[in-house]
């Protein structure tokens, strides 16, 4: 049986970042040789942080999240990756030239095996597909359940539950939304994208909305999905509209894809006539609809909900000493734009300094 001081379960963003900063003896366990989510993130360019990170970009315990984000900030993350090629996009999102640079920078030696369960005797016994590892301390960094196709699993939640922890209901987030019948007109617009302002409760996102054969997606909708439980989402399809005098028909006059205006008007039974312009603009700026649901975990960038922070004391279980949780497995979820990796890195660095 292999023995170690610290077993890190999961070599994704948070597990790797922790390992990179630990000065103690550890074994890093993962069933994958490559951190698949880092690889596929940001369209292969890993959006690793954001220029403007505040607790308001996250769902979860504000006080705790704020403490961790202030401990290891976006500036610290940018400094850490300063020797790899990266660029700022949309004035705030930091992307690597390729995810490979992030992976190479974080890469650590791993024990490749599937984690099956964790027991506590005098020490922890981690049962894997390749035997048992004994550890004095265990850090669970096994991430969320979305994208099972690349190896995501619910093992972190199971381990937590077995040790008596509460799991805040898991839901897909940063995900496209499905439509009720009234909105099926959007399905005819697959591939069309419209810059919009999307609002849900007090959250507002100005970015693209993308129509797809399954429903509605794009960055503004993905962000709204983080906060949406049920109820109406409001879309302003003309957030930048300024009045102009013209006799053209609305579909020719408005700065919107013609196909979109035509389907929209059909769905509202309004004629594409200049006399209707003001009425049409009002409709386009105040469109509300209740999504039927989401595209589900297979398409979700993250899992919202997770291990409740109430039962942790600075990432350590209040029930089992020397058992820790970091990263996405926790009940902390960020918006689109590098916030989730920032959380992984901040939580991992905080714990590394605690354990060192």
Ligand X SMILES: Cc1cc2nc3c(=O)[nH]c(=O)nc-3n(C[C@H](O)[C@H](O)[C@H](O)COP(=O)(O)OP(=O)(O)OC[C@H]3O[C@@H](n4cnc5c(N)ncnc54)[C@H](O)[C@@H]3O)c2cc1C
- Footprint of ligand X on this chain (CB under 6 A)? 10-15, 30-32, 35, 37, 40-42, 46-47, 114-115, 141-143, 146-147, 151-153, 155, 301-302, 327-329, 338-341, 344
Which residue number, 100 or 267, has a Cβ lying nearer to ligand X? 100
339-355 and 13-21 are packed helices; what angle lies between their axes, rounded to 10 degrees?
30
Q: What number of other Cβ atoms are within 10 A of residue 296's Cβ?
A: 14
Helix (H) or strand (E) holding 222: helix 219-227
Nearest distance in Å: CB 151, ligand X? 4
C-alpha to C-alpha distances, 187 to 68, 178, 280, 288, nearest whole angstrom: 42, 10, 21, 16
Q: What is the dihedral of CA 238, 242, 244, 248, to 10 degrees?
A: -10
Say how far apart CA 295 and CA 332 lie, in whole Å: 21
Nearest distance in Å: CB 117, ligand X? 9
Nearest distance in Å: CB 156, ligand X? 7
**Cβ-proximal residues to 22 (8 Å cutoff; 6+ apart), any chain:** 6, 352, 355, 356
Which residue number, 152 or 312, has a Cβ lying nearer to ligand X? 152
Which residue number, 18 or 216, has a Cβ lying nearer to ligand X? 18
Which residue number, 41 or 249, has a Cβ lying nearer to ligand X? 41
Residues 107, 101 contacting (CB under 8 angstroms) = no
Which residue number, 294 or 340, has a Cβ lying nearer to ligand X? 340
Which residue number, 151 or 250, has a Cβ lying nearer to ligand X? 151
Q: Shortest Cβ contact with ligand X: which residue?
A: 12
Is 339 buried (19+), middle (13-18) or exposed (0-12) by CB count in 10 A? buried
Which residue number, 154 or 188, has a Cβ lying nearer to ligand X? 154
Each residue of 213-245: b (16+ CB within 10 Å) or e? ebbbbbbbbbbbbbbbeeeebbbbbbeeeeeee
Nearest distance in Å: CB 284, ligand X? 31
Q: What is the DSSP string of 254-270?
A: SSS-HHHHHHHHHHHT-
Which residue number, 183 or 207, has a Cβ lying nearer to ligand X? 207
Nearest distance in Å: CB 304, ligand X? 11
Sequence-ordered alpha helix ranges (H) in 96-164: 99-106, 155-162
Residues 139, 325 contacting (CB under 8 angstroms) = yes
Q: What number of other Cβ atoms are within 10 A of residue 345's Cβ?
A: 29
């Amino acid at each position: 049986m292999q023995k170690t001081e610290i077993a890190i379960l999961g070599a994704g963003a948070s597990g790797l970042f922790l390992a990179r900063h630990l000065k103690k003896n550890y074994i890093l366990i993962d069933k994958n040789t490559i951190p698949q989510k880092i690889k596929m993130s940001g369209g292969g360019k890993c959006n690793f942080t954001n220029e403007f990170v505040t607790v308001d970009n996250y769902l979860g315990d504000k006080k705790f999240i704020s403490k961790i984000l202030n401990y290891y900030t976006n500036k610290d993350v940018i400094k850490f990756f300063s020797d790899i090629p990266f660029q700022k996009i949309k004035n705030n999102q930091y992307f690597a030239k390729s995810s490979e640079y992030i992976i190479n920078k974080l890469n650590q030696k791993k024990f490749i095996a599937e984690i099956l369960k964790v027991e506590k005797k005098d020490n922890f016994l981690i049962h894997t597909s390749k035997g048992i590892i004994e550890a004095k301390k265990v850090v669970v960094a096994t991430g969320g359940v979305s994208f099972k196709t690349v190896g995501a699993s619910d093992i972190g939640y199971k381990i937590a539950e077995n040790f008596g922890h509460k799991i805040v209901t898991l839901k897909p987030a940063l995900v496209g939304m499905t439509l009720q019948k009234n909105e099926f007109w959007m399905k005819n617009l697959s591939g069309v994208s419209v810059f919009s302002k999307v609002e849900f409760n007090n959250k507002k996102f100005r970015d693209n909305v993308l129509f797809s054969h399954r429903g509605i997606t794009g960055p503004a909708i993905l962000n709204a999905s983080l906060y949406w439980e049920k109820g109406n989402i409001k879309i302003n399809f003309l957030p930048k509209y300024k009045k102009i005098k013209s006799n053209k028909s609305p579909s020719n006059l408005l700065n919107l894809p013609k196909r979109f205006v035509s389907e929209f008007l059909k769905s509202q039974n309004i004629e594409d006539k200049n006399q209707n312009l003001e009425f049409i603009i009002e409709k386009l700026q105040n469109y509300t609809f209740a999504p039927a649901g989401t595209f589900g975990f297979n398409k979700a960038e993250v899992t919202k909900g997770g291990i409740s922070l109430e039962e942790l004391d600075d990432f350590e279980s209040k029930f089992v000493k020397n058992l820790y949780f970091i990263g996405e497995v926790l009940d902390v979820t960020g918006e689109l734009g590098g916030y989730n990796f920032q959380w992984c890195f901040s939580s991992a660095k905080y714990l590394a300094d605690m354990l060192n």
